[in-house]
Amino acid sequence: MKRTNFNSVDLELEDNVVAIKRVSKTVKGGRNMRFSALVVVGDKNGHVGAGVGKAAEVPEAIRKGKEAAMKQMIEVHLDKNGSVPHDFIGKFCGASLLLKRAPEGTGIIAGGPARAILELAGIRNIRTKSLGSNNKQNVVFAALTGLQSMKKPEEVARLRGKAVEEI
């Protein structure tokens, strides 16, 4: 996935912790316990990112996840009613997420992990369906790849050699 680097200083970013889990590594002396945090950051205006942080303490894992999410920010194309330009299926590992356009007033119809990405991206009207795996981390990254793969009507028109009104 190609990511766009944004300067996080000029963006007012909000963060949302989607999942915190305790992970362990078995070593000679027993088990090493650590915490893994899945964090989503966005400005609710077309910029969003997700990252995973792992550390011995929960706050440190969240901080690392937030930093990783800021490094992987993408820009999302929105239409005039705060929805996506077209229907699309985002895939990541075993998870697939169907993203469908919705008219004004629909709201965000999505499960927990996908909702976090969509809200922080600034999308106001969308319908989604999680297909395949329901692993939170994979669903979040499937939503991210789906949003990144969206094309503006201007791009599609340019590729087809037509005017935007014809499409």
DSSP code of residue 166: G
What is the pLDDT at residue 7? 55
Per the confidence metrics, is the pTM higher than 0.75?
A: yes
C-alpha angle 9/13/16, rounded to 5°? 145
- CATH 3.30.160.20-classified regions of the chain: 14-74
Q: Please give the class, per CATH, of domain 14-74.
A: alpha beta
- CATH 3.30.230.10-classified regions of the chain: 76-159
Alpha carbons 22 and 108: distance in angstroms, whole number: 30
Contact assessment for residue 37 and residue 64, using Cβ atoms and an 8 Å cutoff: yes
Alpha carbons 167 and 12: distance in angstroms, whole number: 35
Q: What are the structure tokens assigned to 148, written together?
A: 């990144």
What is the pLDDT at residue 10? 58
Residue 134's SS3 state is: coil
Alpha carbons 48 and 148: distance in angstroms, whole number: 10
Residue 41's SS3 state is: strand
What is the pLDDT at residue 2? 47
CATH 1.20.140.10 fits 76-159, yes or no: no
- What single string gives the DSSP state of each residue in 54-98? EESSHHHHHHHHHHHHHHT-EE----TTSS-SS-EEEEETTEEEE
Per-residue pLDDT of the chain (167 residues; tens, 9 = 90+): 445 555 555 578 999 999 999 999 999 999 999 999 999 999 999 999 999 999 999 999 999 999 999 999 999 988 888 888 889 999 999 999 999 999 999 999 998 899 999 999 999 999 999 999 999 999 999 999 999 988 888 888 888 888 877 76
